[in-house]
Structure 1
Amino acid sequence: MLVTLLSLILQINPITPPPGNWLTPYEKSYGKKTATYKECISYYQALDNAFEELKLIEYGATDSGKPLHVAVVSMDKDFNPTSVRRKNKRVILIQNGIHPGEPEGIDASMMLARDYLQKKEGRALLKEVVLVFIPIYNVDGALNRNSYSRANQDGPESFGFRGNARNLDLNRDYIKNDSRNAQTFTVLFQEWQPDIFVDTHTSNGADYQHTMTLIATQKDKLQAPLREYLTSQLLPQLYGNMQKQQLPMCPYVDSKGETPDSGLIGFLETPRYSTGYTTLFNTIGFVTETHMLKPFANRVQAQYHFLDVLIRIVQKDAAKIAAARQQSVKEMLSQKQFPLTWQLDTTVVDTLTFLGYEAKHKPSEVSGLSRLYYDRQAPFSKKINYYNTYRATLSVAKPVAYVVPQAWEEVIDRLRLNRVKMRQLRRDTSLTAEVYYITDYKTSTRSYEGHYLHSGGQVRSEKQRLNYFAGDYIVPTNQPAARFLVETLEPQATDSYFNWGFFDEILQQKEYFSNYVFEDIAAQLLQQDANLKKQLQEFITKNPEAAKNAQAQLDFVYRHSPYYEKSHLRYPVTRIVNKTF
């Protein structure tokens, strides 16, 4: 009876429930409920007890005080990441519940892990593949269960909350690592070094026919070998095989205009996002986005089938993926220029088949004004534009090394988490380095994920001989973390540690002057330095208001005198460009 009911409920290639007591809470509810945190972890614990090929591990802390669990499925019972990599196995890391109000991946992964362990075919598909599941990443949000925070979503009956225990959106925390969740994830990711990463989500936005949409790692941010494999082989197989499952996919629906038929824009994941972070380490990433208005059961099945299709492809293409990734790492190590910022190139246009509903307008029953709606009685299939080419707008030459003073402990801790190779100076040392001065930047007026973000930074550089102390860090760039280092330590990079506010102390001037005292000093400086006097006149000529502003003229002289503190606006991380460490 249960099998029959589930088959009636699930409209897309229903999954046959297993015999015995292995039904998940989702299956027991006939597709209406998602597992609670306790139910989910208990289910994996039961799988661990029943199958030697699955091991449930408490990996580290979360802000909730609960541990982050990881379930590893390894058919040769090897659960050591170093050993798994030595055997040249492909590792797929599947993360669920980063937004626990979008829980389909939680339930799909429970069923998938069970089925791969129970079924002979599934076990054979993991010959060259190890699965690493994060059952629920945002444990904090999963414990904050409710039925209302996802106002636009069709089921389940209750679900978790987007924010974690600190009200952080964990899908903005990968590069800044504010939460213990993100810190634990970083350790996990760096130990396992997955080939493929999947982050399961539910979409918001327009209405359309597709149950599953997909964000793939932005192709232009990948090294050429991985980009070629992703675009010419992996994505066509994923789209084709999902079509065979009666689940036609399209890219994530981010519309160029008001509605999707205006064209879709490829998502640009900067390192604050999960797949933006994983790309820094040559891992292909996917964010699955099931459509919020489809029944919950259909969304779960779509997640299940996507993961199953992906695993089958990775098993088949294991050698290709290994070769592409190895070559990409090699190319990155020899790369001289690294992009810091990107812009969409709208002159490059592809097309795709989109299954939508006609967008119309009618008077609002709330305001009486015109409102948008999608007419499900008017479905369509049409070719629409797809804009998915990005160009680097700012690049930087990779230095031989960075120097990070030990005083910046928050930054050093994050480098350690990411397994960055560093060495400390053994004695006080004088080094010639390239130094940045921050000449301009903008700061958001509202807090964003616990920070007042900077953007639009401008810098000038100069060579200086600086004194460093024993214990300061030399960070060579000739290492697998090279791209991570450039995108975090170069202040103009979109998600640099500077833009996240980790160096805000340098933006404040610590010393100044009293006008009546500095008047005499300034006059003496101008008498002694003809060039300074000339610079002051040029400043007044270019800024007519300064001719009437004594303070502005004193300030100009001060800033061009030995009295002005050289550390003001000087970025503390310096670049070594002509010495090998």
Structure 2
Amino acid sequence: MLALLLSASLLFTAPPDWRTPFEKGNGNTTATYAECIDYYKRLDAAYPEITLREAGTTDIGQPLHEVVVSLDGDADPASVRAKNRRMVFIQNGIHPGEPEGIDASMMLVRDYVQKKELRRQLENVTLVLIPIYNVDGALNRNSTTRTNQNGPQEYGFRGNARNLDLNRDYIKQDSRNARSFAQLFQRWQPEVFVDTHTSNGADYQYTLTLIDTQRDKLHPAMNQYMQQRLLPALYAGMEKKKWPLTPYVDFEGRTPESGLRGFLETPRYSTGYTTLFNTLGFVTETHMLKEFAPRVRVTYDFLELLIRTVHQDAAQIKQARAAADQQTRAQTDFALTWQLDTTQIDKFSFRGYEGRTKTSEVSGQPRLYYDRKAPFTRPVNYYHTYRPTTTVHRPVAYLIPQAWGEVLERLRLSGVQLQRLRRDTTLTAEVYYVEDYKTSPRPYEGHYLHSQVKLRPEQQALAFRKGDYVAVVDQAAVRYLVETLEPQATDSFFNWGFFDSILQQKEHFSDYVFEDLAAELLHRDPQLRQQLEARQKADPAFAKSASAQLDFIYRRSPHYEKSYLRYPVARWLGGNLPVE
């Protein structure tokens, strides 16, 4: 009898409840960090297709996790790559107050192993995702800081444990989070990368807006596939799902109908960094004023559609990526800075709300509001052509003194192959002198950012030490090398302040001591005297300043330190190097 009762109880055991915290809630709740990781632990234990593991650390001391969804359970990047699968990499929670991707991905991963119609999409695709990237911010939970946002009830904070915005940290890598990401990204080398967000800004009809890798910065082979196949498939597919898409709503004037601008994601941003390695990048931006539940659903539908399209186009993507990688390694000239070309105009049929003004109850002044009773669909100008404003011809290699450890560490984390000089040696290479630059008056993400760098190249014989580093440019990370080590690049290591110590002069002179030496120099060097006299005639203020004239002579004398304002990374233009 007891056996029968036990047997009956087993028959009526409730099946596992695989609903996520979002699905169990009221449509306005998002999973906490602990709930999210615990859910993936349950999936990992129940399904061999799912692997959850630690992928590094974060500034708050908690691990950064990765989730791998692979139909045969293979979670080794090299093995998966050998099986001719495309890799789709999804990152969630970089801004934990924008959590739609966190909840959408939990449901999506579950559905890929539980629903037959979705499993097919992973026959030639491996899905890799970071459940929550900014663990620090996710643990700093509140319900007030997203002032402009309609739900959820509670959410994380934008800044991490060091109050860094991690979506400005991909090149400088001040955070442990970013350093862990770089290693994880380089292990997988995905063809497609998605970073999930929520927007701020204007009001309009769309629930989801999209940033795709800026077309002029993307390699032509990848861009051709993106523009001719992938984007049309995504826009048409989301329209069919009743989720019309628009490019990210960044506009020229007061309201969106003044014209949309393509977003230029430089390498400080997630998709700007991934573009350096010929990865197709997307940032999903759900609209802050829509309710949370449809924002989660639209993110789910976009991710599913993207993966389905990658599954269908696996061969095309492989071909485009292979061409891009091969051609990038052979590329000789690289664009470093860009400017929007407002003479190139496309049209986009935009679904917005009329922007009107009314009297502010706070200030009594006219204020903007969007009238949801006045929707419109009309063509607006779309400016998304960027022109290079600075280009550089690549060297054969970069010579990097071992003293600059912070830079070398970041190069390694991003997959740069480095060699070392095997003996002390003197090498003649091209160096840059920094002739001018601008510095922001206030800190930006922990740095006083430089810009508008002007350089003077010069050939010099330089002494290098055994163990100094050589980065030969003919490697997969060539574009990353150029855009970080060329000082004039927008997000170069120089512009982020990693070389600021070269901007300070270390040796000086006393006027009364140098007077006699300066006179002797002028006596021995008639050409220097001519230069001084020409400057005196051309510049009356200079002619009246004794100190300025002494400094003029000092800077042209053997006593002036050659290392002042000399960028320490040298450009090797050819020949053999004594490397290990």
TM-score by length of 2: 0.96
> Are residue 384 (structure 1) and residue 380 (structure 2) matched?
yes
- From 343, 364, 368, the equivalent of 1:368 is 364
1:263-313 deviations in Å (ceiling 9; x for gaps): 000000000000000000000000000000000001000100000100000
Please tell me whether residue 138 in structure 1 is matched to residue 134 in structure 2: yes
* Structure 2 CA distance for partners of 1:316 and 1:19, relative to 1, 3 Å: farther
Structure 1 CA distance for aligned equivalents of residues 346 and 327 of structure 2: 28
Q: For residue 411 of structure 1, what is the aligned residue in structure 2? A: 407
Q: Which amino acid aligns with 1:211?
A: T
Query: Which among 487, 490, 494 is matched to residue 494 of structure 1?
Result: 490
Q: Which residue of 1 aligns with 2:219?
A: 223
1:80-479 map, 5 Å: 80-479=76-475
Aligned letter for 1:315? H
**Residue in 1 aligned with 2:500?**
504
Q: Distance in 2 between matches of 1:575 and 1:189?
A: 28
Q: Secondary structure at the match of 2:550?
A: helix
The change in CA–CA distance for 1:240 and 1:19 in structure 2 (over 3 A counts) is farther
Aligned letter for 1:332?
T
Deviations 1:153-204 (A, max 9, x none): 0000000000000000000000011100000000000000000000000000
Q: Following the alignment from structure 2 to structure 1, what is the Cα–Cα distance between the partners of residues 534 and 195?
A: 56
Task: Structure 2: give runs of 5+ residues left out of the alignment.
Answer: 1-13
Map of 2:514 onto structure 1: 518
Partners of 1:141 and 1:162 within 8 A in 2? yes
> Aligned equivalents of 1:494 and 1:238: distance in 2?
30
- 1:288 is paired with a residue whose SS is strand
Gaps of 5+ in 1: 1-17
Q: Which of the numbers 529, 535, 555 marks the counterpart of 1:533?
A: 529
1:574 to 560, 570, 577: 570
Verify the 8 A CA contact 1:428 1:467 in the aligned structure 2: yes
**Is 1:49 the counterpart of 2:40 in the alignment?**
no
| Offset at residue 448 of structure 1 (A) | 0.6
* SS of equivalent residue, structure 1 residue 221: coil
Q: Tell me the distance in 1 between the aligned counterparts of 2:500 and 2:41.
A: 45
Residue identity in the other structure for 1:109? S
| Letter aligned with residue 107 of structure 2 | M
Q: Quote the residue 2:3 is aligned against.
A: none
Residue by residue over 1:295-338, the C-alpha shift from the partner in whole angstroms, topping out at 9 and shown as x without a partner, is 00010001000001000000000000000000001110111100
1:563 corresponds to which residue? Answer: 559
Q: Percent identity?
A: 63
Residue 550 (structure 1) aligns with? 546
Distance in 2 (alpha carbons) for counterparts of 1:580 and 1:260: 56
Shift of 1:580: 5.2
In the TM superposition, residue 481 of structure 1 has moved relative to its aligned partner by 0.3
Deviations 1:523-549 (A, max 9, x none): 110111011111112222332211111
Q: Is the 8 A contact 1:438 1:460 kept in 2?
A: yes
Mapped contact 1:37–1:143 kept (Cα < 8 A): yes
Q: Distance in 2 between matches of 1:298 and 1:400?
A: 52
Report what 1:8 is aligned to.
Answer: none
Distance 1:203 1:237 in 2: 23
Give the superposition deviation at 1:565. Answer: 0.2
CA–CA distance in 2 between the matches of 1:203 and 1:266? 15
Instruction: Give the match's secondary structure for 1:372.
Output: strand
Q: Which amino acid aligns with 1:128?
A: N
Q: Decide whether the 8 Å contact of 1:439 with 1:460 is kept in 2.
A: yes
Per-residue displacement from partner, 1:67-111 (whole Å, max 9, x unpaired)? 001110000110000111111110000000000000000000000
Residue identity in the other structure for 1:537: E
Amino acid aligned to 2:73:
K
1:9-50 Cα offsets, whole Å, 9 max, x none, are xxxxxxxxx984011110111311000000000000000011
User: In structure 1, the residue corresponding to 2:200 is in which secondary structure?
Assistant: coil
Q: Which residue of 1 aligns with 2:55?
A: 59
Residue of structure 2 in register with 1:6 after alignment? none
Aligned counterparts of 2:254 and 2:339: Cα–Cα separation in 1: 21
Structure 2 SS opposite 1:220: coil
The alpha carbon displacement at 1:229 in A equals 0.2
**Partners of 1:268 and 1:184 in 2: CA distance:** 25
Distance in 2 between the 1:539 and 1:280 partners? 46
Deviation at 1:578, TM superposition (A): 2.1
Superposed displacement of residue 62, structure 1: 0.2
Which runs of structure 1 show a deviation greater than 6 angstroms over 4 or more consecutive aligned residues? none
Alpha-carbon distance between aligned partners in 2 of 1:195 and 1:449, rounded to the nearest angstrom: 29
User: How many angstroms apart in 1 are the aligned matches of 2:535 and 2:314?
Assistant: 64
Aligned to 1:7: none
Specify which of 64, 73, 84 is matched with residue 68 of structure 1.
64
Question: How far apart in 2 are the matches of 1:168 and 1:545?
Answer: 46
Give me the whole-angstrom Cα distance separating, in 2, the residues matched to 1:350 and 1:539. 52
For residues 569 and 370 of structure 1, the distance between their equivalents in structure 2, rounded to whole angstroms, comes to 51
Q: Which residue of 2 aligns with 1:5?
A: none
Deviations 1:449-500 (A, max 9, x none): 1100000000001111111000000110000100000000000000000000
CA contact (8 A) 1:400 1:580 kept: no
The CA deviation string for residues 408-443 of structure 1, in whole angstroms up to 9 with x for no partner, is: 000000011112111100100111100100000011
**Residues paired across the two proteins, number:** 564
Asked if structure 2 preserves the Cα contact closer than 8 Å seen for 1:64 and 1:140, the reply is yes
**2:216 alignment partner, SS class:** helix
The 2-side partners of 1:371 and 1:545 are apart by: 51
Over the aligned positions, Cα root-mean-square deviation in angstroms equals: 0.9
